[in-house]
Chain A
Amino acid sequence: MIPKLSARRELDDLKQQELSRLAAVEQRITVCNGTGCRACGGLEVKDALIEEIGKHNLSGRVEVMPTGCQGYCQRAPLVVVEPAGIFYHGVAPEDASRIVSQTILQGDLVEDLLLDDPVSGKTIARHDDVGFYAGQQRIVFALNGKIDPTSIGDYIAHDGYQALAKALLDMEPEEIIDEILRAGLRGRGGAGFPTGKKWHLCHTQQAQPKYVVCNADEGDPGAFMDRSLIEATPHAVLEGMLIAARAIGASEAYVYVRAEYPLAVEHMRKAIDDSRACGLVGEAVFGTDFSIDVHVMEGAGAFVCGEETALLQSIEGKRGMPRPRPPFPAQSGLFGKPTNSNNVETYANVPPIVLRGASWYAKIGTETSKGTKIFSLTGKVANNGLVEVPMGTTLRHIVYDVGGGMRNGRPFKAAQLGGPSGGCLPAELLDVPIDFESLSEHGAIMGSGGVIVLDDTACMVSVARYFLDFTARESCGKCLPCRVGIPMMRDILVRITEGKGELADLDRLHELADLVKSSALCGLGQTAPNPVLSTLRYFEDEYRAHIVDGVCPSGVCEALAPPYRIDPEACRACDQCAKACPTGAVQGTPGAPPYAIDETLCIRCGACLEVCPFSAVVRQAES
């Protein structure tokens, strides 16, 4: 049982106890049990390992530790054997016996579970040599994979709640705010507003009570770092919130988690309960006058609730619709009281800043954007997962050094950054250092940090249409520019992808985009045209190809796609294309080449092209 902590000495004593508990084990097998690894059988792997340890009477000497998301989700489930640091990926429950008998008992590697690293092209045995991790600088993610997220003891052993003790016992609220200001921390949820300024404004308000809100309504498609952070290190997020509460003088806090993240909700609830049990949440924390209560509020499925004023409405049990500012939430927020709301990743940055100091933090990053940023790297890149790198890192480093380059050797076409509020950056911009300013200068935004890598099979008009479809559906409908303007733009894009566009549509898109940008009520509406504007800026030739030439160059838009054809020379009549075809357009007899495609039945889905082992399926235009 974790004791009640009423003084810093007790926290330090507990830390020592927990450290010796962790050190008492000779070897430790960490198994990633984040959402991604669970989807691939991570829980079953953990159970199988525990059973094997029991079979070999190793309990007490070898520990199996379920961890939160380690970020290399594509290689799930992940297993690391410590202290040797041996890294296994794609582990199945049946592999457990070999891991225990070979690696744990004899120190040998299980060769077929080792990673063939796309970054270096070598087979990798140790976690620290994995290119995906080696190219990162993990500060916020430092403990992901190192601790059991449901154990407050594990967190305390790794300096957990030391920053809170320092903030409560050694610092005045003004000093905390000053530290955050000097560190240069900016909001990680999208707009990049200086966190210290936000806290200061809230701190100076007279009204009581004040609230602290953690925005974990991570709705941008393609972003999952907040899910990962709460799943893996819920206490770090909570500690950041408690320090913020001290700084602004709040007595109540809410974590608003989207309902699509059940594991994050579970881990955050457990973290709050455990912290309450040992007195880190509650009355008179560490014997000071600081008292706080923390609640978890589950969303009910509305993208717009990621906007802070909408989120506050939702906590109040109302429709989540944004309202105009001023007054800012710092002045009049939740229940009309001063409220500080920050994103999950922002709060997770707070404990390291308080503990290690603003000057240490401010050395990381660029002139205007300090610290690290976590990106969700997905799409047509070899390594998919969560990437934490210093601000100012280039897209090239993220895609090629950490991401291991393009999948299947296809060429890089663009990276979509910042989700529905962001934009697409073309290959010419691979070497631009990424920070808040450079991204907006080039028509994207940092947003929550989603990076979706697109290759030459992506149609940029369709990408823009996809995002506008999304924002049109998710618009709350309160203001007219967003409610009407976005569907109008979407309809134009649909026309273009159906081959019914005209050149004047490009001017109409620009006009509507400017209008929505300048007049929508909230940030989500104002940034919704970005996917259109950035694709127009860098890929206007593709729009023109759709409109003028009547061709979708990448073949995505069915109405404009060149038809498929089977090269009779290359066809081996393996029948895979016919099996894959959803409409029966591919015809032929197995073993008797060649097959042929009936153009009238073909819906241009490309399924045949994907499955053909002999590259016998080609587009008409290519031949």
Chain B
Amino acid sequence: MPELLPSKLREEIEGHAEHPETLIHVLRRVQETMGFISPASEAFVADQLDIPISRVHGVVTFYHLFYTTPRGRHTVRLCQGTACHVAGADRILTALSTHLGIVPGETTDNLAITLETVACLGACALAPVMVVDDIYHGLLTPDEAVAIVERALEEEG
């Protein structure tokens, strides 16, 4: 039995019935609630918006911010923009990857942390930059980056 979307979310999606132009918005709402977009969610959305599942899946896989697997409780997004690249973002990535034992795009086994790289976070003057759960951290060193991630885990309690 595939997981069910909560009834409130189902109602919301039903409100977009036959408005395929709202697809990206709807998928965003699904992901906000469910954490990722499962095949069952894709099928439900396709049915409600009256479009083929292939189109839904095509959109889900086209955009970087849609996920098809469960996510960690915390998301660490490390900037790989030009300014960050020049400022040594690679070394921070190596430190985080080694510390967490995952490569970008992966989630730790205990579903605590998802590590991602992004093209540019637009805070270039503070390079190198990463965002942990929507909080920006700038002018990083590899040690600080690891410490910030550890702090996020400790605060979980």
Are B126 and A74 within 8 A (Cβ)? yes
Provide the residues of chain B in CB contact with A40, threshold 8 Å: 126, 138
Are B22 and A317 within 8 A (Cβ)? yes
Are A259 and B65 within 8 A (Cβ)? yes
Are B82 and A39 within 8 A (Cβ)? no
Choose from B118, B124, B134, B136 the contact partner of A378 (Cβ within 8 Å). Answer: B124
A260-B122, A416-B82 are known contacts; what are 17 more A-B pairs with Cβ within 8 Å? A38-B136, A76-B126, A76-B138, A221-B83, A223-B120, A224-B122, A260-B118, A261-B122, A262-B134, A297-B24, A301-B64, A301-B66, A320-B63, A335-B21, A376-B125, A458-B86, A466-B82
Question: A227-241: which residues lie under 8 A (CB-CB) from chain B?
Answer: 227
Question: B116-157: which residues lie under 8 A (CB-CB) from chain A?
Answer: 118-127, 129, 134-138, 142
Least distance between A474 CB and chain B CB atoms (Å): 7
Choose from B23, B85, B98, B129 the contact partner of A39 (Cβ within 8 Å). Answer: B129
With the chains together, A301 CA to B64 CA distance in Å? 5
Does chain B have a CB within 8 A of A298?
yes
The residue in B63, B80, B83 that gathers the most chain A C-beta atoms within 10 A of its C-beta is: B83
Choose from A222, A318, A607 the contact partner of B83 (Cβ within 8 Å). Answer: A222
Are B58 and A450 within 8 A (Cβ)? no
User: Of all chain A residues, which has the CB nearest B51?
Assistant: A317
Supposing A378-B125, A379-B83, A385-B125 touch, asked if A319 and B118 sit within 8 A by C-beta, the answer is no
Least distance between B146 CB and chain A CB atoms (Å): 12
Least distance between A619 CB and chain B CB atoms (Å): 17
Are A317 and B136 within 8 A (Cβ)? no
Does chain B have a CB within 8 A of A273?
no
Are B91 and A452 within 8 A (Cβ)? no
Least distance between B91 CB and chain A CB atoms (Å): 6
Give the number of residue pairs across the A-B interface with Cβ within 8 Å: 141
Does chain A have a CB within 8 A of B10?
no
Does chain A have a CB within 8 A of B94?
yes
Are A300 and B124 within 8 A (Cβ)? no
Provide the residues of chain A in CB contact with B63, threshold 8 Å: 299-302, 320
Least distance between B46 CB and chain A CB atoms (Å): 12
Question: A294-311: which residues lie under 8 A (CB-CB) from chain B?
Answer: 297-303
Question: A33-65: which residues lie under 8 A (CB-CB) from chain B?
Answer: 35-36, 38-40
Report which B residues bind A (CB closer than 8 A). Answer: 20-25, 27-28, 55, 58-59, 62-66, 80-83, 85-86, 91, 94-95, 98, 118-127, 129, 134-138, 142
With the chains together, A419 CA to B62 CA distance in Å? 22
With the chains together, A385 CA to B63 CA distance in Å? 29
With the chains together, A299 CA to B28 CA distance in Å? 10
Provide the residues of chain A in CB contact with B142, threshold 8 Å: 582
With the chains together, A219 CA to B120 CA distance in Å? 7
Are B21 and A73 within 8 A (Cβ)? no
Can you show 24 pairs from A to B with CB atoms below 8 A apart?
Answer: A73-B123, A73-B124, A74-B126, A221-B124, A222-B81, A222-B82, A222-B120, A223-B122, A224-B125, A261-B122, A300-B63, A300-B64, A302-B63, A315-B21, A317-B25, A379-B83, A384-B124, A452-B82, A452-B83, A466-B82, A582-B91, A582-B95, A605-B91, A607-B91
Does chain B have a CB within 8 A of A380?
yes
Supposing A219-B120, A607-B91 touch, asked if A319 and B58 sit within 8 A by C-beta, the answer is yes
Least distance between B135 CB and chain A CB atoms (Å): 8
Does chain B have a CB within 8 A of A542?
no
Are A39 and B65 within 8 A (Cβ)? no
Are B81 and A221 within 8 A (Cβ)? yes
Provide the residues of chain A in CB contact with B120, threshold 8 Å: 219-224, 260
Provide the residues of chain A in CB contact with B27, threshold 8 Å: 300
Provide the residues of chain A in CB contact with B125, threshold 8 Å: 36, 72-74, 76, 224, 376, 378, 384-385
Least distance between B68 CB and chain A CB atoms (Å): 13
With the chains together, A419 CA to B66 CA distance in Å? 25
Are B127 and A378 within 8 A (Cβ)? yes
With the chains together, A538 CA to B63 CA distance in Å? 36
Choose from A36, A223, A297 the contact partner of B138 (Cβ within 8 Å). Answer: A36
Are A318 and B59 within 8 A (Cβ)? yes
Least distance between A584 CB and chain B CB atoms (Å): 13
Provide the residues of chain A in CB contact with B22, threshold 8 Å: 317
With the chains together, A476 CA to B64 CA distance in Å? 12
Are A298 and B28 within 8 A (Cβ)? yes
Provide the residues of chain A in CB contact with B122, threshold 8 Å: 35, 218, 223-224, 227, 260-261
User: Of all chain A residues, which has the CB nearest B26?
Assistant: A317
With the chains together, A458 CA to B88 CA distance in Å? 11
Are B136 and A39 within 8 A (Cβ)? yes
10 cross-chain pairs, A with B, having the tightest CB-CB distances, nearest first = A39-B136, A301-B64, A221-B81, A73-B125, A300-B63, A317-B23, A384-B125, A301-B65, A221-B120, A224-B122
Provide the residues of chain A in CB contact with B136, threshold 8 Å: 35-36, 38-39
Least distance between A586 CB and chain B CB atoms (Å): 15
Does chain B have a CB within 8 A of A456?
no
User: Of all chain A residues, which has the CB nearest B55?
Assistant: A318
Does chain B have a CB within 8 A of A13?
no
With the chains together, A390 CA to B63 CA distance in Å? 37
Least distance between B95 CB and chain A CB atoms (Å): 7
The residue in B120, B136, B142 that gathers the most chain A C-beta atoms within 10 A of its C-beta is: B120
User: Of all chain B residues, which has the CB nearest A264?
Assistant: B122
With the chains together, A262 CA to B28 CA distance in Å? 14
Least distance between B104 CB and chain A CB atoms (Å): 12
Does chain B have a CB within 8 A of A314?
yes
Q: Annotate A377-406 by CB proximity to B: 1 below 8 A, 0 otherwise.
A: 011100011000000000000000000000
Choose from A261, A300, A450 the contact partner of B24 (Cβ within 8 Å). Answer: A300
Are A466 and B85 within 8 A (Cβ)? yes
User: Of all chain B residues, which has the CB nearest A261?
Assistant: B122
Provide the residues of chain B in CB contact with A223, threshold 8 Å: 120, 122, 124
Choose from A260, A470, A474 the contact partner of B121 (Cβ within 8 Å). Answer: A260
With the chains together, A317 CA to B127 CA distance in Å? 33
Supposing A300-B66, A317-B59, A582-B94 touch, asked if A222 and B124 sit within 8 A by C-beta, the answer is yes
Provide the residues of chain B in CB contact with A299, threshold 8 Å: 63
Least distance between A303 CB and chain B CB atoms (Å): 6
Least distance between B113 CB and chain A CB atoms (Å): 19
Are B28 and A376 within 8 A (Cβ)? no
Provide the residues of chain A in CB contact with B137, threshold 8 Å: 39
Are B64 and A302 within 8 A (Cβ)? yes
With the chains together, A220 CA to B124 CA distance in Å? 11
User: Of all chain A residues, which has the CB nearest B119?
Assistant: A221
Are A300 and B65 within 8 A (Cβ)? yes
Supposing A38-B136, A319-B58 touch, asked if A314 and B24 sit within 8 A by C-beta, the answer is yes
With the chains together, A401 CA to B85 CA distance in Å? 25
Supposing A262-B134, A314-B24, A582-B94 touch, asked if A36 and B62 sit within 8 A by C-beta, the answer is no
Least distance between A447 CB and chain B CB atoms (Å): 12
With the chains together, A74 CA to B125 CA distance in Å? 5
Least distance between B89 CB and chain A CB atoms (Å): 11
With the chains together, A224 CA to B119 CA distance in Å? 13
Does chain B have a CB within 8 A of A316?
yes
